[in-house]
Every structure is written in C-alpha cells, then in structure tokens.
Amino acid sequence: MDSLASTSQNPVQFLGASFSAGVLWMTCATAHTKEWLSATIGRLKNFLEGVELQAIEAKDLAKRPKVIGWFPDQAEEERVRIRLKAQNPDLKTEDWHLLSRKTEEKGQTLAYSLDAASFKALEKAGFRVYYQLGRVTLKQLNPGNREKTKDEGGADKPAPQ
C-alpha cells in the first residue's frame, strides 16, 4: 500500500475547499494530507489536455491586487462585470473575484481582487473605467502590500484554520 494512502490511523482530512478565479483552494488539516494531495496531483499531471495541475502553498503565491469602487446602480454583481468588460475590453473581468458588496439606495460599493493583466490596464487608465453612460473611479486597496504574502485569509484565499 502507498505510504501516503489514507488509513484509519492516518486519514486524509481537509478543513475546506473553494473554487475562485480558476483556482481550487484546498486547506489541508494535517501534514499527511498535504503530502497525500501533492503526491496525488503529481500522478494526475496529464489528466486533462490543456489543464495544469499544481500543488502550491498559499504563502508562495503573490497576493492579487485589490480595488474598490462605487457604481451608480444596484445591478447584480455579475452584470456589473459584464458591463465593465463590454466597455473596457482590456479588463479580464471574468478573472475578478468579488470580495465585498454593499448596496445603497443610489448604487453599490464593490471590492474585487484582480488578475495582473486587468490591474496593469487599470493603472494605465488611471483607475478610471467606463461604466454605463459615464466613468467610475476605482481605488487600489493596500497598494503597499501587493507583493507581500500574509497568510491572513480573505475572500480571495481561504484562511488557515
């Protein structure tokens, strides 16, 4: 039997899993589970053509940049991203992950974590995007923290438990 296989004395245990922005986040409860997951992914390297499988610790990933902005309507969040993409083709809004949403009487405040390409496009545009019949200004959250990797969790990455 494989030394990393699950046994009643050494079961494979996870604290949680979620899927966002093309990444399956799995939080392992034990070192044995982490080793088992890494070995299993290693055996599945060529599982699906065009799909890259890797086991990477969250601490080794660069944090995604985050922005916040006020939008002058109460459209569903997915609709907002569709509109943004239609009017700002350099933004890859399908890779954005919603961090928070606060609706108000005349609009809503949305916070997102972004892919690197969209962030560069926003920088080039001065963080101003076309939206409906006007423009919306987005503000970068924690601009000094972009390259730092703290293991504090959040909507773009599960917190360790």
Q: Mean pLDDT per 10-residue run, the chain (161 residues)?
A: 64 84 79 89 76 74 87 94 96 91 94 92 96 95 55 36 36
Cα(62)–Cα(67) distance, rounded to whole angstroms? 16
Predicted TM-score (pTM) of this structure: 0.59
Q: What is the pLDDT of residue 22?
A: 66
Q: Are 4 and 36 in contact (CB under 8 A)?
A: yes
Fold of 66-145: Alpha-Beta Plaits (3.30.70)
3-state secondary structure of 57: coil
Among residues 91, 100, 107, which one has the least CA distance to residue 154? 100
Q: Give the pLDDT confidence score for residue 20 in this predicted structure.
A: 66
pLDDT number for residue 131:
95
User: Which residues touch 93 (CB under 8 Å, ≥6 apart)?
Assistant: 81, 82, 84, 85, 118
